Copies of this chain bind each other. A is one copy, B any other.
Amino acid sequence: MSRGFYIGRFQPYHNGHQSVLEGMAREVDEIVIGVGSAQLSHELDNPFTAGERVLMITGALKEVVCPIYVIPIEDLQRNALWVSHVRSMTPPFDAVYTSNPVVMRLFEEAGVAVTSPAMYERDSLSGTKIRSRMIRREAWEHLVPESVVDVIEEIDGVERLRQIARSD
């Protein structure tokens, strides 16, 4: 059995993530998703709590048939320990899917195989751009799975982000 690992901050979870994970689901038997910077929320770059992000991801992947583990991963601020930290919090995995050069390097130095997934529509689909659209009251709903729209509405997420953005 093969298990693949994918990590992101998912602020918020969007169609680009969804596309990568649907691709992974065709290649591995089970998927472990790490929700990075789990301890952060209510910040301009990290508006949503780990729990809210778990809810977004689980809802969006309901149709995917392979077993999925969604695991919050708190930051350590010690890169040399990060791979061990991730491994201690997750079921064992044999492949890592990431486009982040630091994550890539850390797993490679630990001897783990890393695949860089082609991110779908990267330009329009970064979390940064979606958060900017929310702050400027522009349409963002078409860039994320429907279930993510539901979660963000339920937690009054756009208003939270817009209020935080008033900080100087």
List residues of chain A with CB under 8 Å of any chain B CB: 38-43, 49-52, 54-55, 58, 67, 69-72, 74, 76-81, 83-85, 87-92, 100-102, 104-106, 109, 160, 163-167
A105 & B72 in contact (Cβ 8 Å cutoff):
no
Given A102-B164, A164-B101, A167-B100: A43 in contact with B91 (beta carbons within 8 A) = no
Given A50-B89, A55-B91, A89-B51: A39 in contact with B78 (beta carbons within 8 A) = yes
User: What are 11 A-B pairs at a CB distance below 8 A?
Assistant: A39-B77, A41-B78, A52-B91, A54-B90, A54-B91, A71-B71, A78-B85, A80-B85, A84-B84, A101-B164, A102-B164
Measured CB to CB, the nearest residue on chain B to A106 is B42
Measured CB to CB, the nearest residue on chain B to A75 is B77
Each complex incorporates copies of this chain amounting to: 6
Instruction: Tell which of B54, B70, B81 touches A84, judged by Cβ atoms closer than 8 Å.
Output: B81
**A-B complex: 4 closest residue pairs judged by Cβ atoms:** A80-B88, A42-B79, A101-B166, A84-B84
**Chain B residues with CB below 8 A from A104, complex form:** 163
B38 & A79 in contact (Cβ 8 Å cutoff):
no
Given A88-B81, A101-B166, A102-B164: A54 in contact with B69 (beta carbons within 8 A) = yes
**Chain B residues with CB below 8 A from A69, complex form:** 54, 58, 70
Instruction: Tell which of B52, B90, B106, B164 touches A51, judged by Cβ atoms closer than 8 Å.
Output: B90
